[in-house]
Amino acid sequence: MSVHDVDVLMIGAGPSNLAVAVAIEESGSPDVAVRSLVIEQYEDVKWHRNLLLPWTRSQVSYVKDLVTLRNPRSRFSFLNFLREHDELDAFVNLGTFNPFRWQLSTYQQWVADTLEHVQVRYSVRAERILPIHAEDGAILGFAVPLSDGDTILCRDLVFGAGRDAFVPEVFRNLPAERVVHSTEYGSRVGDTAGLARAGRPPRPVVVGGAQSAAEMFMALHQDMPGSSPMMLLRSIALKDYQTSKFVNELFYPSFVDEFFAMSEEVRTKVLEEMRLTNYAGLAAPFLEEIYMMIYRQKMLGRPVSVIRGFTEVVDARIESAPGGGDEVVLDVRDLRSGGVEQVRCDALFLGTGFDPQMPTMVRNLISSLGLPEATVNRRYRVDLGASAQGALYLQGVNEATHGISDSLISVLAHRSADIVGDILERRAAQPDAVADQVAADQTAVMPA
C-alpha cells in the first residue's frame, strides 16, 4: 500500500480519457504528460465491453476517432492504426465510414499501448474521490483510494467512467441472477441459459426499444439456441435513428458552443427534439436485419420471436413454475387497450440505458464539497470556487449543458482539446507550488 502523486489523474480508460491522454501527449508539455495517469478497473481496454458482438458496427464515422478532427496528422488516428496492422487496404475496400465495433475497441487498446509518456494502470478501481483542502479551505486537488489499497494524489482529475446503469424500479426486487443489464450481457448471458427448466427451451425477455436492447434481442438467438426471445418496448414500434445530413450538423463541435449559450428551457426542448438521433432508435441497416429475421421465421414455420410495442411492465415477481422450479412473472400493460396480461420468462435483459443523474462517485464528491450540484463550464470544468487550485473535469455526462453529443464519440477530439487547453492554461497561471505543497506534506492534506 503506497501513495502516488501525479498532476493529472484520469478515471476510466474509455475513449473519452484516451482522447485526453493523447491530447496531453501531443500538447508539447512532456512534463505534464509524464505526470499523467489513466486508471482502468479491468485488465485491458474494451469499448462496449459486454456488447462487443462480432457483427455490431459503429454508427459514427471513423473520422471521429480519438484525434483526427483535432489533429489530422496524428499518429494515433484510426487510419494509422489500420496501416500499422497492414489492414488499411482491406478496410478501404469495404467502402464504409462505419467500422465494426471490435475494430474500434482494438484501436483504442492500441492507442493505450503506444502512449509514450502518459501511463495506464490496469486492474485497479477508484473506490471514491476525496477533496484535498488547504488550510484556508481552497481545494488543492484530490485523493483517490484504489481497490488494491494504494492512493493516488492528483492536482487535476478527469472523470470519464460513464454513467451508472439504470435498472427501473419495477425490476429491482427480482433476484440478481434473473436480471441482466446490457452493460453485463457478454459476461452473464451464459449463466442465464441454465435458468430454464430442463426439457424446455429458455424463455428470455428483452426490455427496451433502442440499439442495446435490439442487439441483445438479436444475440440471444445465438446465445440461447432454441429460444424465441420476446422484446417489450413502450414506443409503438422499433424506429430508426434520425441520420439526415441536416440533423448530423447538430453533432458538429461548433454546435456545442451554440447549445451551451442557450437558456435551460431551450436546451431541454432541443434535447427532446434530438432524442431519436441517439437514445430511442436503431441503425437503419440493423432494423432491416431484424425485420428480415422475423420474416424468415414466419415464412419457414419456425418459432417466431416477438416484438411487442406500446407495452409497459407494471409488476415483476418470482413465482413457482408449473412442474417445479421458479420463474419470472411480468404483468404487462397494453398501452392501447389498458389491458394487463402475464408474461412468464426465465431471465430479463434490460436495454434501459443509464441513470440520467451524475454518476454516484461524482455525486458523493459534490456532496462532500457542500455544493448543490456539479456546475460545469464550457471547457468541462466543475466550478469549485475561485480559490480552487485543483480542478475536476467531467466527460460524457454533460448533455444538459453541452448537448446530446456529449455522451457520444462525435466530440472526443475537440473535447480533449478543450480540457487539455484548460489544464495547461491553469498550469501557466498557477505554477507548481500547489503540487509541491501536496507532495511536501501529504499527511497534513490527506482527507481522513
- Which residues make beta-bridge pairs with 350? 181, 207
List, in order of start, the domains of the chain with CATH numbers: 3-164+355-445 (3.50.50.60), 169-241+278-350 (3.50.50.60)
Q: What is the pLDDT of residue 176?
A: 95
Q: What is the pLDDT of residue 278?
A: 77
Give per-residue burial for 304-332: e unless 16+ CB within 10 Å, then b. ebebebebbbeebeeeebeeeeebbbbeb
Question: Is pLDDT of 111 > 50?
Answer: yes
Between CA 98 and CA 107 the distance in angstroms is 14
Question: Is pLDDT of 433 > 70?
Answer: no
Q: What is the pLDDT of residue 287?
A: 94
Q: What is the pLDDT of residue 437?
A: 53
Give the mean model confidence (pLDDT) for residues 54-67. 94
| Residue ranges in 243-386 assigned as alpha helix (H) | 245-248, 253-260, 264-273, 284-300, 360-368
Q: What is the pLDDT of residue 321?
A: 85
Do 419 and 23 meet the contact criterion of CB atoms below 8 Å apart?
yes
Between CA 253 and CA 413 the distance in angstroms is 9
For the chain, give the mean pLDDT.
Answer: 93
Between CA 448 and CA 80 the distance in angstroms is 47
Q: What is the pLDDT of residue 446?
A: 55
What does residue 413 show for φ and ψ, rounded to 5 degrees?
-65, -45
Q: How would residue 79 be classed by pLDDT, with cut points 50, 70 and 90?
A: very high
Name the range with the highest mean pLDDT among 224-228, 299-303, 336-340, 441-445: 336-340
- Cell readout for 352 is 434501459
pLDDT digits (tens, 9 = 90+) for 89-98: 999 999 999 9
Q: What is the pLDDT of residue 443?
A: 44
Q: Which secondary structure element, helix H or strand E, spans residue 341, and what is its range?
A: strand 340-345
pLDDT digits (tens, 9 = 90+) for 298-352: 999 888 899 999 999 999 999 998 877 899 999 999 999 999 999 999 999 999 9
Q: How would residue 194 be classed by pLDDT, with cut points 50, 70 and 90?
A: confident
Give the mean model confidence (pLDDT) for residues 29-42. 97
Q: What is the pLDDT of residue 268?
A: 94
pLDDT digits (tens, 9 = 90+) for 373-398: 999 999 999 999 999 999 999 999 99
Sequence-distant (6+) residues with CB within 8 A of 118 are: 21, 24, 25, 33, 34, 36, 37, 38
CB-side exposure of 253: number of CA atoms within 13 Å?
16
What does residue 155 show for φ and ψ, rounded to 5 degrees?
-85, -45
CA angle 385, 389, 391 (to 5 degrees): 75
Local structure of residue 112 (DSSP, 8 states): H
Q: Which secondary structure element, helix H or strand E, spans residue 155, and what is its range?
A: strand 151-159
Do 412 and 21 meet the contact criterion of CB atoms below 8 Å apart?
no
Q: What is the pTM of this model?
A: 0.93
Q: Which residue has the higher pLDDT, 274 or 19?
A: 19
Q: How would residue 243 be classed by pLDDT, with cut points 50, 70 and 90?
A: confident
Do 330 and 337 meet the contact criterion of CB atoms below 8 Å apart?
no
Strands 36-39 and 3-11: what pairing?
Answer: parallel
Question: Is pLDDT of 269 > 50?
Answer: yes
Question: Is pLDDT of 441 > 80?
Answer: no
Q: What is the pLDDT of residue 69?
A: 96
Give the mean model confidence (pLDDT) for residues 152-171. 97
Q: How would residue 276 be classed by pLDDT, with cut points 50, 70 and 90?
A: confident
pLDDT digits (tens, 9 = 90+) for 116-149: 999 999 999 999 999 999 999 999 999 999 999 9
Q: What is the pLDDT of residue 447?
A: 56
